[in-house]
Amino acid sequence: MRAVRVVGTAVAGVLAGTGALHAVWTVSPWPLRTPEEFADTVVGTGDGVPPAAACAAVAGLLGAAAYLVAAEAGAVPAVGPARLRRAGVWTVSAVLLTRGAGGLTLVGGERALRSERFRRLDSRYYSPLCLALGTGAAVVAAAGTGYREPGPVA
């Protein structure tokens, strides 16, 4: 199924791009102008960009997630045990679906402490994107380990 490779490549691309953005945030609030604007838009609390180590850790996790999804979809060479790779993709899916659903369903508590701008962006973009990526990762995981396009019959 070519669709599995397409979905996996798209999900992996967005995860890798998001990981690259988190890597940039270790040194800059780009594409926002100030650390305060960053805190209001991306985090919803505080007065600046999170610590560089935290941004780097998230960048690394997103990079690993991108690789796992791409490898499981057959878009890049797969390395390591297939069972572990597949479990990793299911974990990526679960984390993204939880983040997406949590952003849309939490009404009080932590969500109430976030800025209005963050809550609006989270409801419109961040949470739906997480749900879409989590669903895509689940499609890839369900398709089977190291999916490959069938080759020509000899």
Domain-embedded: residue 13: yes
Domain that holds residue 53: 2-143
Domain-embedded: residue 52: yes
More confident residue, 39 or 152: 39
Least confident of 94-98, 100-104, 111-115, 139-143: 111-115
Domain-embedded: residue 149: no
Task: Answer positive or negative: Cα dihedral of 130, 136, 140, 142.
Answer: positive
Q: What's the rounded Cα separation, in Å, for the pair 151 and 154?
A: 9
Backbone angles phi, psi at 108, to 5 degrees: -110, -155
Q: What is the pLDDT of residue 48?
A: 82
Determine what percent of the chain is predicted with pLDDT higher than 90. Answer: 69
Query: Which pair of structure tokens corresponds to residue 150?
Result: 């069938």
Domain-embedded: residue 152: no
Quote the number of domains for the chain.
1
Instruction: Give the amino acid at 34.
Output: T
Domain-embedded: residue 66: yes
Domain-embedded: residue 25: yes
> Which of 10-19, 79-88, 144-153 is the most confident on average?
10-19
Closest CA to 149 of 74, 69, 81: 74
- Average pLDDT on 15-36 reads 94
Domain-embedded: residue 93: yes
Q: Over the chain, what is the mean pLDDT?
A: 89
